[in-house]
Chain A
Amino acid sequence: MSAPHFDPTRRAFLGALGAPLLASPALLAEQLLRTPPQTEGPFYPDKIPLDTDNDLLVIGKNGVQALGEVAHLTGKVLDVNGAPVKNVLVEIWQCDANAVYLHSRDSGPKAKQQDKNFQGFGRCTTTDKGEYRFRTIKPVPYPGRPAPHIHFKVKRNNRDLLTSQFMVRGHTGNARDGVFNELRDLVDRELVLVDFKPVKDSKIGELQAYFEIVIGLTPSDADMNQKK
């Protein structure tokens, strides 16, 4: 009775990046649930580093690899109708494996503890299909934040479209985390939980994580999204 929700050829392509999570909601009366905003926190870098590529494991081309469990983070940015949001900037930042953020207010006093090889901050512009990717570490807890998390922003032309965080699904610290619990709606919490799964056949225990971000666009933003 109902038409298939997935276009099989599209799905095969998406499969290369990681399991697609969202079908085109053309059959749904409802719009997609938006990724909820969460606090930016105090450690968005006060000095944007020289290297802001999407590989946080290595600073520059020849740096020593940072400590931590290697994680390949991929995903998409979509609007509430399921259309890809192209050419927007995704930024992520997180503390290093020793729980130190790049921001000088944290790395200053904790300089001895800091993993100086961790880039700490990265950027990626979404493709025509709204896709982004990063290589980073699986996040670790931070004092006062039992839920390991990665901060992110989605920006267009230097304007924030969304600031939020995502957490590790299943981590026992989530239940005790004040920021996570600030999402009063439990459905919202589901939208910022990400699975970190082992990469098949990886000899070095790499993980993969897939995270779809759904944002609401104002009419003028939506226009710009159509044009590009």
Chain B
Amino acid sequence: MRAIALVLFAGALLGAASLTSAQPQPGGKDKKGGKGGGTVTVEGMVARVFAYDANKDGKLTKEELTDGRLHALFERADANKDGFVTKDELAALLTKEMAPSASGGSGGGFGPGGPGGPGGGFGPPQPGQVLPTFLREQLKLTDAQQKELDALQKDVDAKLDKLLTEEQKKALKAMRERGPGGFPPPPQ
């Protein structure tokens, strides 16, 4: 339990640090799910893609998807390879790809200005992430270490899942989705 509290607290500290260091906020004009535009949800992303559902039958074909930049996504989403993507298929894919998973991946890393600090925008560490991705890179973990860390992450995730109430889990999920700026300052 203690370890988890420490991890969350460390996450909060790093999160607070990220608020104070210079972070470029590109904030494009297109607010649809963009960085400055508020919470990204699976529903929102599905809506963006299904705007191309010309005949509104809830199934997307490649012909309807006239933006070729989204064709790779189409192919990944068409799980049963029937040439159609349903909202459910797309939602399932996006949910899977959004999960801050055991690969220590999609949560994003945070670098407190490492050597050459390339890029001010690493994003905040995910609450509950044992080692932010940037640190994994910086420490040059071996494959064996990565595997062990992934297993540790899975363990933390499972234990956290048991100890939090449904409401708390919802709040945590919302915090993760909110991204930079969504992190409250650590308690004094």
Contact = CB atoms under 8 A, between A and B. Distances in A.
A62 to B, nearest CB: 32
Nearest to B30: A34
B40 A34 contact: no
A212 B138 CA distance: 33
Contact of B115 (A143, A145, A191): A143
Interface in A1-36: 2, 5, 19-23, 25, 27-30, 32-34, 36
A37 B136 CA distance: 26
B34 interface: yes
A178 B100 CA distance: 12
A78 to B, nearest CB: 11
Interface hub of A5, A25, A183, A185 (most chain B Cβ within 10 A): A185
Contacts of B40: 184-185
B124 to A, nearest CB: 9
A212 to B, nearest CB: 7
B120 A187 contact: no
A184 B67 contact: no
A188 B33 CA distance: 8
A216 interface: yes
B147 to A, nearest CB: 14
B123 A42 contact: no
Contact of A176 (B26, B103, B177): B103
Interface hub of B119, B136, B137, B177 (most chain A Cβ within 10 A): B119
B156 interface: no
- Mostly, the A contact residues are loop
A27 B51 CA distance: 12
Report the contact-size class of chain A (Cβ under 8 Å from the partner): 35 or more
Interface of A: 2, 5, 19-23, 25, 27-30, 32-34, 36-43, 105-106, 142-146, 162-164, 169, 175-179, 181-188, 190-191, 193, 195, 212, 216
B123 A182 contact: yes
B6 interface: no
Nearest to A20: B68
A185 to B, nearest CB: 3
A109 to B, nearest CB: 8
A182 B108 contact: yes
Interface stretch (B9-17, B69-77, B163-171): B69-77
A178 B33 contact: no
